Structure 1
Amino acid sequence: MSEDNLEPLEEGHFYDKQEHPDQKDTITKVTGMYKDWFLDYASYVILERAVPAIEDGFKPVQRRIMHSLKELDDGRYNKVANVVGHTMQYHPHGDASIGDAMVQIGQKELLIDTQGNWGNILTGDGAAASRYIEARLSKFGLEVLYSPKITPWQASYDGRRNEPINLPVKFPLLLAQGAEGIAVGLSTKVLPHNFNELIDASIKILKNKPFTLYPDFPTAGIADVSNYNEGMRGGRVRVRARISQVDKSTLAITQIPFSTNTTTLIDSILKANDKGKIKIKKIEDNTAAEVEILIHLPAGVSPDKSIDALYAFTACETSVAPLGCVIEDNKPLFIGVRDMLKISTDRTVDLLKRELEIQLNELEEQWHFQSLERIFIENRIYRLIEEEETWQGVIKAIDEGLKPFTQHLKRAVTEEDIVRLTEIRIKRISKFDIDKAQEKIEALEGDIEQVKHDLEHLTDFAIAYFQNLKEKYGKGRERKTELKSFDTIEATKVVLRNTKLYVNRAEGFIGTGLKKDEYVADCSDIDDVIVFLRDGSMMVTKVDVKTFVGKDIIYIAIFDKSDKRTIYNMIYRDGRSGPSYVKRFNVTAVTRDKPYDLTTGTKGSQVLYFSGNPNGEAEVVTILLRQVGSIKKLKFEIDFATIGIKGRASRGNTVTKYPIRKIELKEKGISTLKPRRIWFDETVQRLNVEGRGELLGEFRANDRLLIVNQLGKVKTIIPELTTHFEEGMIVLEKWVPKKPISAIYYDGEKERYYVKRFLVEHENKEEIFITEHSNSQLEIVSTDYRPVAEIIFSKIKGVQKETLTVDFEDFIAVKGIKALGNQLTTDKVRQVNLLESLPFEVPEEEIPEEMEVKDEDTLSDTDDKSSLDDDGQITLSLD
């Protein structure tokens, strides 16, 4: 009966289609092999292929490769093809899978000393064919992987040879190399960690000290491990490429995220460019031993926003989900990296103990035989066998001859010992030196005592072992991946708006496909659009080719749900003949495609005036009333600055109960919102308005930030929240244009120190204010009005010159930024320090003007009771 002919009925029951094509009366119950096949297959994949063992950190194929390398090891390189062929004696799979596994081990540059083209993890290039590349065990691998006397062995799959069940690895290899595998029903992903940090953590475990472990990737990059969760299920590590700005139109990627390579990274950038998410001019890949990808930007494209867009829309930022799964006692075990390291450290201690015990036993055996040999030769016991004619007589004679001299031995003399004595050559007996023999015995006694001491102080011995590993092999294995907290990039704020939004106001259509209608703004396909209609309704919808939102559109714009500074000013009539109301509001939380009524809901209501103001501007409008009855005043003004900002559902303030003929704009408004308070979060090196980090000040539309770096460069920028800050920044503060900057620097060409004071001359240009010689360097810089510095001189012939105090204001006048400055001293300077600045009264013209502002964050959504009387004057009625 063929397996293909079996049709399942229920668990464990089948009928044969060929024998019974038209009925299901005959049921054949299948047991045994069929029933267990899937479980057997799943167990095989989990235990024998995909998941590493907790004992040594190896998958079976990796363990067999390392065993084969040891068997072939003679200090010289072996062709990888030969190693693969040798491994096939132990691994029942094809050469390709073995070769790929060996290349992966070799690329980690820890256990295998490689020669030839082994591929490039940075570019994704594969290794050369196994017949062209060579390998041998590294010195580190030889030291930590092998110890045959304590290795558990088993028969290979064909029974012809023995292979290790696991290798006695005396190092947290699993955490150092990492592991990844997909089995049946489960998977594993252990991230790689830093060599030296693992050793340090193991030592801390032995000393009962707390420790932390975070991954370190061979591709370097920047990692946010705040949600690492010790490498267990549910954790996540965000990894970013290192991107720097070369100039205004060029970005450089010098490190890439783990699990990517330059090929996939560039492909993701090109795809994002094709989809319009970012805009680039061209990409150059100069990667060799180090990553270097140059991204050239078109003119007018912001480098800061481009960096954020690369993180948001390309593989420049990836998210890695660790999953600590290992095999212990032939069962999967889900475990964190801390426990993995503790198990590895405890196992290393146990292996060291077993090695010491074996070494002690061997030393004691050597001491025993050396002592027997000395007794045997020194007391001429070998002469006792001259008269013996049988072998048993020889053994007995020697045994009887030794008895008077063996009381000090640590164990009884065996027949095997006597046989070894009979094998000593005559030449050795004739040249036997009693003094040298005693020296050897004493040396052995010293070694025995040392091993016993190590066993009694096993923890200290293990600590010394780890320290020795770090000293011998830790150089050049410093951390590559920088650990840093990331800010969350909002895609809508950095996406390239590469398409155009149009509107047909009368018909009520909006979209990117209405190219014959009115242009609104540039947009992207992930943007939302806010629309206000004449009937007082509002809707937020996603950008599309063509969308109907309602007829008679009066206002349309790109919508940002987190924008609290855009304020809408509105005057509407309640119903067909009701009173008119004025209101100011912002729009934040809304449901997409849901209409909202901004009026009281009376049928026939109509918006008479509307404006959207990005910075809370409040204009002045003129109200013209219709001539009805005995109205005394047909014209009056409303200043929106006098209207409080409420929720969008509020009714608003009464304008008039009479019909309005016309509303005219009299005067454009200024912002009625508080200046925006901006903080700098040093952890993520970004600006924010949420109160994280150091407060830089309150910024209006034209205010700028002053930045000075260690290279002696100064610039001012608009404080945009997407700004990226470079390393080496020493001054970041709100810029006061008339406040001078003071500095002391060393001129590398003249080999003298200079003092200068200057003002920033070009607010949109980065300038260097020290000389450009390669040895020139900035010593101190201050933005205080009257800074003071102390100059400490070097001793000359044992004489210490008195410290010099420099008042910058008295020492030098404010000059141009390119001026050399005044020479500080001709003497040799040892140190320059900033002291407490002198008091100074800030000039009135440099004090920011106070504005009477409304804080939108403290206003309620309830109606106020103010209204305009018949003469157009605002009155306030209180309940």
Structure 2
Amino acid sequence: MADIQENIIRTEYSEIMQKSYIDYAMSVIIARALPDVRDGLKPVQRRTLYDMYELGIRYDRPYRKCARIVGDTMGKYHPHGDSSIYEALVVMAQEFKKGLPLVDGHGNFGSIEGDGAAAMRYTEARLQKITQEVYLSDMDKQVVDFLPNFDETEKEPEVLPVKIPNLLVNGADGIAVGMATSIPPHNLGEVIDAVIAYMKNNEITVRELMEYIKGPDFPTGGIVVNKDDLLSIYETGTGKIKIRGKVEVEKGKNGKSLLVITEIPYTMIGANIGKFLNDVAALSESKKTTDIVDIANQSSKEGIRIVIELKKGADVENLKNMLYKKTRLEDTFGVNMLAVADGKPETLSLKQIIEHHVDFQFDIATRKYTSLLAKERENQEVQEGLIKACDVIDLIIEILRGSKSREQVKKCLIYGETEGIHFKTKTSERQAKKLHFTERQATAILDMRLYKLIGLEIETLMAEHEETMKKIALYEDILNNYSSMSKVIIKELQKVKKEYSRVRRTVVENAAEAVYEEKKIEEMEVVFLMDRFGYARTIDKSTYERNKETADSENKYVLTCMNTGKICLFTDAGRMYTIKVQELPFGKFRDKGIPVDNVSNYDSAAEQIVFVGSMADIIHTTLCFVTAKGMVKLVEGKEFDVAKRTISSTKLAEEDSIVMVQNAEAMEHLVLQTKEGYFLKFLKAEIPYKKKTALGVRGIKMNESDCVEHAYMLENRTEYPISYKEKTLVLNKLKLGKRDTKGTKTRV
């Protein structure tokens, strides 16, 4: 017990929480979410590629099941679940997401329209040629540091020896704790040219670098329309890029025009293509435009092709601008060039990313050529030993024949020890004592085969030695001269550019702001109809007058409003939803409406509508609120004049709900009816005016098991009969009470 007490550390709880959270945050930032500026890869990507390299899944070998790759990566290097590894593997294989795919996928790896990849047990993968040659080459030359894995049973590279600035070429996106990275992809050839330009002139500016890197190059193409903003983005590492889809005009049948979208903004990848199609359809349905006849998605493996058929004589340019303004055909890509540099997260400029990359390349080259030089010096030592051995080969043979063991021969060759060795002559023994080979040379001599003594083999050995000396001189020159190492790095970069660069896909320009002239709607009075199932529509006022009786009987809510106005829906959950009247279908009396769920955030499964009104009327009146727990208040209607589509209409206590919301302008008395049969009638003057954010005041005292079931507003000199327990009860005849009393239990 005493030992346990000695191990108890007393500390402030807040300090422990703070330290734990900071440790967690840094773990997410460094080890999960952000790429390293050196290789431009997140840990999960790096580990997956390295595991494929270790498993020998090369570009010129058969594909292997993704499940095998994912399982091996998770077991050895990345113990954070198979889904994150497989997702990273899939993204690295998707040509529409990566400017330079690093994995060659075989099978269903998803589509640009948002279809997910097949399960990992069905798909296969292998490394791309560029990944193997540019990202994973020289791993055997100690060019990067290796660290223990999570359980210290394996070693994994700290970074991969990537020869190109992958952070720029493939971009990056990731959400960490309190920070996020979003880097657009760029053109490989342009990035390499910029790196070479920097290596030739370290004082180069970002503006000068942009002579090589024109701007982002998205795999989906598209048009960057704010070219002038790019300088600021590349200098600061943050900003917003505006991108548009590419729209072409084609001639259709019968003189109609077709708007054909052949390239989409990078941000539209996935489910946003479907959303775009729905948005275009909604523009037509809501009568924002009457020029669209049909929309069809004809996209295939060959590329994007979305066709919008227009009416004859439609204003094509205006409609194109409408698509830019009203849909995601023009979108914003938020740039935040955040990466892990020198072990900490840092927002980097374009030049800083290139600087870090070049420093990394010099570090890799130094380690590579140091390793190669050491190897060649070993070769030199062995070759010189064998050449020297050829000159005294007869003596060596005599030593071999006169020795009893390999160790005896080795000592003689290295130290000239002749004890125990039988020589034919004293001269041979004296010569043997003068021998002074290194241990490596002695081992090579003992391992040498007899055929090496043939004249041609000796000549080959001499030629090899000469070649080795040339390599040593070359490697020493590279290691000792900045310019020589620069030339080697530049040569490799040019080789990569020649083999793997492609034509730029994204156009970068300064385009005029899309100006869309919206057709002014002729303002008119309409009648809003909503049935008990929540289907709403509007009709012409004269149509309503002709069908008034039927309209009133078939619909739960009927009210007059302007076609340019808004309808407000109040629910029992204390929320108010607004709907633009224009968003509702307008037509004939027997036309079907649409669910109000479709044009608002209202969820009919979770809450019920208790009041519907026109905002134009509500803001000039007073609303009375009554809740199930008996809370009442009056609220000025102007408080509900808001632009938001959804707001909280009142504050509710826990487990409370709204029973009634009504226009209280003409009200003289309020009657509250409880579930247990209590009725309380009191004056409107007793109800205080409150803000919509207030709870209100208690209207009636109730038993804990009781609640307000109905509320009625009585006007002056108007009889208000209700059916209660199958009999008629006239509310006006109820005894007048005071607010916040229990009321009277009515026995009819």
TM-score category, normalised to shorter length: 0.5 to 0.7
What secondary structure, in the 3-state scheme, does the structure 1 residue paired with 2:523 have?
strand
Matched, 1:244 2:224: no
2:53 is aligned to 70
Q: 1:340 to 1:395 in 2, by over 3 A?
A: same
Q: 1:392 to 1:178 in 2, by over 3 A?
A: same
In the TM superposition, what whole-angstrom CA distance separates every residue of 1:580-608 from its partner, at most 9, and x where no partner exists?
xxxxxxxxxxxxxxxxxxxxxxxxxxxxx
1:112 is aligned to 103
Q: Distance in 2 between matches of 1:200 and 1:399?
A: 54
2:145 to 117, 127, 152: 152
In the TM superposition, what whole-angstrom CA distance separates every residue of 1:817-869 from its partner, at most 9, and x where no partner exists?
xxxxxxxxxxxxxxxxxxxxxxxxxxxxxxxxxxxxxxxxxxxxxxxxxxxxx
Q: CA deviation at 1:73?
A: 1.7
1:284 is aligned to 296
On the 8 A contact 2:245/2:262 being kept in 1, the answer is yes
Aligned partner letter, 2:145: P
On the 8 A contact 1:51/1:327 being kept in 2, the answer is yes
What secondary structure, in the 3-state scheme, does the structure 1 residue paired with 2:229 have?
coil
Q: Which moved more, 1:107-116 or 1:68-77?
A: 107-116
2:396 is aligned to 382
Q: CA deviation at 1:129?
A: 2.1
What secondary structure, in the 3-state scheme, does the structure 1 residue paired with 2:510 have?
coil
Q: Which moved more, 1:272-281 or 1:345-354?
A: 272-281
1:227 to 226, 229, 234: 229
Q: Distance in 2 between matches of 1:418 and 1:236?
A: 67
1:333 is aligned to 346
Q: Which moved more, 1:347-356 or 1:136-145?
A: 347-356
Q: CA deviation at 1:400?
A: 5.2
* TM-score normalised to structure 1 length: 0.51
What secondary structure, in the 3-state scheme, does the structure 2 residue paired with 1:236 have?
strand
Q: Distance in 1 between matches of 2:240 and 2:339?
A: 19
Q: CA deviation at 1:357?
A: 2.5
Q: 1:28 to 1:85 in 2, by over 3 A?
A: closer
1:399 to 404, 414, 429: 414
User: Which is bigger in relative contact order (C-alpha 8 A, separation at least 6)?
Assistant: 2
Matched, 1:469 2:496: yes
2:68 is aligned to 82
Q: CA deviation at 1:431?
A: 7.9
Q: Distance in 2 between matches of 1:32 and 1:391?
A: 67
2:470 is aligned to 446
Q: CA deviation at 1:221?
A: 0.5
Q: Distance in 2 between matches of 1:145 and 1:98?
A: 19
Aligned partner letter, 1:221: G
2:441 is aligned to 417
* TM-score normalised to structure 2 length: 0.60
Q: CA deviation at 1:81?
A: 1.4
Counterpart mapping for 1:181-580 below 5 A: 181-208=174-201, 210-212=208-210, 213=213, 214-224=215-225, 225-228=227-230, 229-231=232-234, 232=236, 234-247=238-251, 248-261=256-269, 262-279=273-290, 280-288=292-300, 289-380=302-393, 381-383=395-397, 384-389=399-404, 393-399=408-414, 414-429=438-453, 433-455=457-479, 456=481, 457-474=484-501, 477-491=502-516, 493=517, 495-497=518-520, 499-502=521-524
What secondary structure, in the 3-state scheme, does the structure 2 residue paired with 1:307 have?
helix
Matched, 1:50 2:33: yes
Counterpart mapping for 1:91-130 below 5 A: 91-107=78-94, 108=98, 109-121=100-112, 123-130=113-120
What secondary structure, in the 3-state scheme, does the structure 2 residue paired with 1:189 have?
strand
Q: 1:312 to 1:353 in 2, by over 3 A?
A: same
On the 8 A contact 2:247/2:259 being kept in 1, the answer is yes
Q: 1:296 to 1:95 in 2, by over 3 A?
A: same
Matched, 1:138 2:128: yes
Structure with greater proportional helix content = 2
In the TM superposition, what whole-angstrom CA distance separates every residue of 1:744-782 from its partner, at most 9, and x where no partner exists?
xxxxxxxxxxxxxxxxxxxxxxxxxxxxxxxxxxxxxxx
Q: CA deviation at 1:41?
A: 1.8
On the 8 A contact 1:385/1:398 being kept in 2, the answer is no
Q: 1:29 to 1:471 in 2, by over 3 A?
A: closer
Counterpart mapping for 1:628-707 below 5 A: none
Q: Distance in 1 between matches of 2:163 and 2:190?
A: 16
Aligned partner letter, 1:181: G
Q: 1:524 to 1:30 in 2, by over 3 A?
A: same
Matched, 1:169 2:162: yes
Q: 1:269 to 1:526 in 2, by over 3 A?
A: farther
In the TM superposition, what whole-angstrom CA distance separates every residue of 1:338-389 from its partner, at most 9, and x where no partner exists?
2112211232233123212222222222122112112223421522243334
What secondary structure, in the 3-state scheme, does the structure 2 residue paired with 1:321 have?
strand
On the 8 A contact 1:119/1:127 being kept in 2, the answer is yes
Aligned residues: 484
Q: Distance in 2 between matches of 1:313 and 1:398?
A: 87
Q: CA deviation at 1:71?
A: 0.6
Q: Distance in 2 between matches of 1:526 and 1:348?
A: 64
Aligned partner letter, 1:322: V
On the 8 A contact 2:414/2:442 being kept in 1, the answer is yes
What secondary structure, in the 3-state scheme, does the structure 2 residue paired with 1:259 have?
helix
Q: 1:387 to 1:70 in 2, by over 3 A?
A: same
Q: Distance in 2 between matches of 1:391 and 1:375?
A: 20
Q: Distance in 2 between matches of 1:526 and 1:272?
A: 18
Q: Distance in 1 between matches of 2:122 and 2:455?
A: 54
Q: CA RMSD in A?
A: 3.3
Aligned partner letter, 2:499: K
Q: Where in structure 2 are there 5+ consecutive unaligned residues? A: 1-9, 418-427, 429-435, 527-537, 544-561, 567-579, 583-613, 618-748
Q: CA deviation at 1:267?
A: 2.9
What secondary structure, in the 3-state scheme, does the structure 1 residue paired with 2:259 have?
strand
On the 8 A contact 1:496/1:524 being kept in 2, the answer is no
Aligned partner letter, 1:114: G
In the TM superposition, what whole-angstrom CA distance separates every residue of 1:257-284 from its partner, at most 9, and x where no partner exists?
0111333332332333344434422111
Q: Distance in 2 between matches of 1:185 and 1:94?
A: 23
Q: Distance in 2 between matches of 1:526 and 1:413?
A: 101
Q: Which moved more, 1:57-66 or 1:67-76?
A: 67-76
